[in-house]
């Protein structure tokens, strides 16, 4: 740090220009053009069959101590009802298929998200969402926060997250998920929406590297896997 230069003078010169010129001066040995390596290589584990991929997904999600139930499409409403039965209140994002809520237990208060504050959300026990992609090799569920998934805070602040994933959404490995979630694939345009990749309930290993489930995010993750072919 050159302390003898007045900060105002330093700011007058563009930090961006200076950093970029430092970078250019640092790499005269690099002669390959930008992008010469070609497209990013796609290194992934091969799947042997669809059935195996779905089995692996379920196994790996359960390995994170998330609860998993498998249902046929006509069993979704009942599975949702069973998952929320023991809590007092549940928030439901816009765009969630009304049919999923048709067996709702009367004792559970259902709240729709009409601009709830963080404090409002903190007073709600659970949330029901759909998902965008499931990844078998890692047991991951990805939310791109489109219809049925809600804004990010909804699936974060309440302590119970009930998530509906269709087997047709489950891919085998991470690169396939990344390809499905690419900006063009998600929005048809350039701007990729926010994404949350979820692998089990929130956890920490910060105390003696002992894994403990449940810190700030939902401490209970309940996954409903829908066999839709």
Partner 1 sequence: MSNPMQTTSPTFVGMPKFPKAAKKALGNTQQRRNLAHATGVIRAKRARVVGEVPEWEALRLAGAQAKDETLGHLAAYLEMLEANLARNGAQVHWARDAEEANRIVVGLVQAKGAGEVVKVKSMATQEIELNEALEAAGIHAWETDLAELIVQLGHDRPSHILVPAIHRNRSEIREIFRREMGLVGRPAPDDLSDEPRRLAEAARLHLREKFLRATVAISGANFAIADTGSLVVVESEGNGRMCLTLPETLISVVGIEKVLPSWQDLGTFLQLLPRSSTGERMNPYTSIWSGVHEGDGPQEVHVVLIDNGRTHVLADPVGRQALRCIRCSACLNTCPVYERAGGHAYGSVYPGPIGSILNPQLRGVASEVDRSLPYASSLCGACFEVCPVRIDIPSLLVHLRAKVVEAADGTTHEARAMRAMAWMFGDHRRLEAAQRAATVGGRVLGDHTIRHVPGPMGPWTGARDVPHLPTQSFRQWWAKRERKGGAR
The distance of closest approach from Cβ of residue 78 to partner 1 in the complex, given in angstroms and rounded to an integer, is: 28
How many residues appear in the chain? Answer: 229
User: Could you tell me the smallest distance in angstroms from the CB atom of residue 51 to partner 1?
Assistant: 20
β-bridge mates for residue 212, sequence order: 204
Q: Which of 12, 35, 106, 229 binds partner 1 (CB under 8 A)?
A: 35
Q: Which of 90, 164, 83 is nearest to 121 (CA)?
A: 90
The residue within the footprint of partner 1, chosen from 80, 174, 224, 225 (CB under 8 A), is 174
Give whole-number Cα distances, 172 to 59, 104, 169, in Å.
13, 33, 10
Single out the residue of 6, 37, 74, 188 in contact with partner 1 (rule: CB under 8 A).
37
Please list every residue from 129 through 168 that binds partner 1, using CB under 8 A: 135, 137-140, 145, 151-153, 156-157
Calpha distance 192→184 (Å, rounded) = 8
Per-residue interface string for the shown chain with partner 1, residues 45-74, x marking contact by CB under 8 A: x--------------x--xx----------
Q: Which is nearer to partner 1, 69 or 192 (CB)?
A: 192
Rg of the chain over all Cα atoms, to the nearest angstrom: 23
Instruction: Indicate whether 32 belongs to the interface with partner 1 (CB under 8 A).
Output: yes
> Comparing C-alpha atoms, which of 62, 200, 53 is closest to residue 137?
53
Strand partners, 143: 196
Residue 51 or 179 having the CB closest to partner 1:
179
Which one of residues 198, 224, 225, 226 is an interface residue with partner 1 (CB under 8 A)? 198
Considering the rule CB under 8 A, would residue 180 count as an interface residue with partner 1?
no
Whether residue 137 contacts residue 45, with contact meaning beta carbons closer than 8 Å, is answered with yes
Which C-beta is closer to partner 1: that of 30 or that of 106? 30
Number of residues forming the site for partner 1 (CB under 8 A): 83
Q: In which region does residue 117 sit, left (phi positive, over 0), alpha (psi from -120 to 50) or beta (all else)?
A: beta
d(CA 120, CA 111): 10
CA distance 151 to 119: 15
Pick from 4, 26, 106, 229 the residue near partner 1 by CB under 8 A: 26
Minimum CB–partner distance for residue 200 and partner 1 (Å)? 5
Give the nearest distance from C-beta 77 to partner 1 in angstroms: 27
Site for partner 1 in 83-112 (CB under 8 A): none
The residues pairing with 163 across neighbouring beta strands, listed in sequence order, are: 129, 223
Residue from 4, 6, 24, 98 that binds partner 1 (CB under 8 A)?
24
């Amino acid at each position: 740090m050159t302390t003898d230069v007045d900060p105002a003078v330093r700011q007058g010169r563009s930090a961006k220009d200076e950093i970029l010129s430092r970078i250019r001066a640092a790499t005269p040995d690099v002669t390959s053009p930008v992008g010469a390596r070609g497209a990013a290589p796609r290194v992934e584990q091969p799947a042997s069959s669809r059935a195996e991929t779905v089995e692996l997904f379920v196994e790996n999600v359960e390995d994170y101590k998330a609860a998993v139930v498998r249902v046929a499409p006509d069993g979704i409403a009942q599975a949702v009802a069973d998952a929320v039965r023991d809590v007092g209140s549940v928030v439901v994002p816009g765009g969630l298929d009304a049919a999923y809520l048709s067996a709702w237990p009367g004792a559970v208060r259902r709240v729709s998200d009409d601009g709830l504050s963080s404090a409002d959300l903190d007073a709600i026990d659970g949330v029901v969402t759909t998902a965008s992609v499931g990844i078998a090799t890692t047991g991951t569920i990805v939310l791109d926060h489109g219809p049925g998934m809600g804004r990010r805070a909804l699936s974060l602040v309440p302590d119970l997250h009930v998530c509906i994933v269709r087997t047709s959404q489950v891919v085998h490995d991470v690169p396939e998920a990344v390809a499905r979630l690419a900006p063009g694939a998600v929005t048809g345009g350039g701007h990729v929406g926010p994404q949350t990749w979820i692998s089990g309930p929130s956890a920490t290993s910060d105390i003696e590297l002992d894994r403990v489930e449940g810190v700030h995010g939902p401490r209970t993750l309940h996954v409903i896997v829908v066999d839709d072919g």
